[in-house]
Chain A
Amino acid sequence: MQLADQRTIDADPATVWAAILDPEVLRVCIPGCESLSGNPDDGYEATVVQKVGPVKARFTGHVTLSDIVPGQGLTISGEGKGGAAGFARGSAKVAMAAAEGGTLLSYDVDMHVGGKLAQLGSRIIDGFSRKMADQFFERFQSAVEGPAEGEEPEAVAVGAEGEAPAKKGWFKRMIVR
Chain B
Amino acid sequence: MPKDGGIGASTLRREDIRFLTGKGRYTADINLRGQAFACFLRSDVAHGRIRSIDTSAAEAMPGVLAVMTGADFTEVGGNPTGWLVQSRDGATMKEPKRPVLAHGKVRHVGDAYALVVAETYAQAKDACEAIVAEIEELPAIVDMAAAVADTTNRVHDECADNVVFDWGWIEENRAAVEAAFDAAPHVTTLELVNNRLSPNAMEPRASIGDFDSGTGDYKLYTTSQNPHLTRLLISAFVMGIPENKLTVIAPDVGGGFGSKIYHYGEEAAVLAASKRLDRPVKWVCDRSEAFLSDAHGRDHVTKIQLATDTEGNFLALRTETLANMGAYLSNFATCTPTFLHGTLMAGPYKTPHVYVNVKAVMTNTVPVDAYRGAGRPEATYSLERVIDKAADELGIDKWEIRRRNFINPDQFPYQTPVGLVYDTGNYHATMDKLRELSDIAGFEARAAESAAKGKLRGFGLSTWIEACGIAPSNLVGVLGCRVGLFDAATIRVNATGNISVLVGAHSHGQGHETVFAQLISEKLGVPAASVEIVHGDTSKIPFGMGTYGSRSLAVCGSAMMKAADKIIDKGKKIAAHMLEAAEGDIEFNDGSFSVAGTDKQKSFAEIAFSAYVPHNYPLETLEPGLEETAFYDPANFTYPAGAYGCEVEVDPETGAVDIVRFTCADDFGNVINPMIVAGQVHGGVAQGIGQALLEGVVYNEDGQLLTGSYMDYAMPRADDLPNIDVDHSCVTPCTHNPLGAKGCGEAGAIGTPPAVVNAVIDALRRGGHGQVTHIDMPLTPSRVWHAIHG
Chain A residues within CB distance 8 Å of chain B = 83-84, 86-87, 112-116, 118-120, 122-123
Contact = CB atoms under 8 A, between A and B. Distances in A.
Given A114-B44, A123-B711, 7 more contacts: A84-B129, A86-B44, A114-B45, A118-B706, A119-B288, A120-B711, A122-B700
A84 B109 CA distance: 13
Nearest to A115: B44
B327 to A, nearest CB: 15
6 contacts: A116-B288, A118-B700, A119-B709, A120-B709, A122-B700, A122-B712
A116 B44 contact: yes
Given A84-B129, A87-B44, A123-B711, A118 B288 contact: no
B44 A122 contact: no
A112 B45 CA distance: 11
Given A87-B44, A114-B44, A114-B109, A119 B128 contact: no
B712 A84 contact: no
A119 B705 contact: yes
A119 B125 contact: no
Given A84-B129, A87-B44, A114-B109, A119 B708 contact: yes
Interface string B273-304: 00000000000000010011000000000000
Interface in B683-722: 700, 702, 704-709, 711-712
B709 to A, nearest CB: 5
A39 to B, nearest CB: 24
Contacts of A115: 44, 109, 704
A84 B125 contact: yes
Given A86-B44, A119-B291, A119-B292, A112 B709 contact: no
A115 B45 CA distance: 7
Interface residues of B, number: 19
Contacts of B128: 84
Interface of B: 44-45, 109, 125, 128-129, 288, 291-292, 700, 702, 704-709, 711-712
Contact of B702 (A84, A114, A119, A123): A114
A116 B712 CA distance: 13
A113 B702 CA distance: 9
A123 B704 contact: no
A118 B288 CA distance: 11
Contacts of A122: 700, 704, 706-708, 712
B288 A113 contact: no
B600 to A, nearest CB: 72
Contacts of B292: 119
Given A83-B129, A84-B128, A86-B44, A118 B704 contact: yes
In the A-B complex, the 3 residue pairs with the closest CB atoms: A119-B708, A115-B44, A118-B704
Nearest to B701: A112
A83 B706 CA distance: 18
Given A83-B129, A119-B708, A112 B702 contact: yes
Contacts of B706: 118-119, 122
B711 to A, nearest CB: 7
A115 B702 CA distance: 11
Contacts of B707: 122
A25 B707 CA distance: 37
A113 B709 contact: no
A118 B706 CA distance: 6
A83 B61 CA distance: 15
Most B-side CB within 10 Å, residue of A115, A119, A120, A123? A119
A84 B131 CA distance: 11
Nearest to B125: A84
A38 to B, nearest CB: 20
Nearest to B44: A115
A118 B703 CA distance: 10
Contacts of A112: 702, 704
Contacts of A84: 125, 128-129
Nearest to B704: A118
Nearest to B706: A122
A115 B48 CA distance: 14
A123 B712 contact: yes
Nearest to B132: A81
Contacts of A123: 711-712
A47 to B, nearest CB: 15
Nearest to B42: A115
B533 to A, nearest CB: 39
Contacts of A118: 109, 700, 702, 704-706, 708
A86 B712 CA distance: 18
A115 to B, nearest CB: 3
A86 to B, nearest CB: 5
A116 B705 CA distance: 9
Contacts of B700: 118, 122
A170 to B, nearest CB: 36
Contacts of B45: 87, 114
Contacts of B712: 122-123
Nearest to B130: A83
Contacts of B288: 116, 119-120
Given A84-B128, A114-B109, A115-B44, A120 B704 contact: no
Contacts of A83: 129
A75 to B, nearest CB: 18
A35 B125 CA distance: 26
Nearest to A122: B706
A113 B705 CA distance: 11
Contacts of A119: 109, 288, 291-292, 704-706, 708-709
Nearest to B39: A84
A77 to B, nearest CB: 14
Nearest to A112: B702
A96 to B, nearest CB: 30
Contacts of A87: 44-45
A86 B704 CA distance: 11
A53 to B, nearest CB: 8
A159 to B, nearest CB: 34
B228 to A, nearest CB: 34
Contacts of A114: 44-45, 109, 702, 704
A63 to B, nearest CB: 18
Nearest to B41: A84
Nearest to B698: A122
Nearest to A114: B44
Nearest to B129: A83
A84 B289 CA distance: 11
B641 to A, nearest CB: 40
Contacts of B705: 118-119
Nearest to A83: B129
A119 B45 CA distance: 12
Nearest to A116: B288
Contacts of B291: 119
A154 to B, nearest CB: 30
A120 B702 CA distance: 15
A119 to B, nearest CB: 3
B128 to A, nearest CB: 7
B40 to A, nearest CB: 12
A122 B702 CA distance: 12
A117 B702 CA distance: 13
Nearest to A120: B709
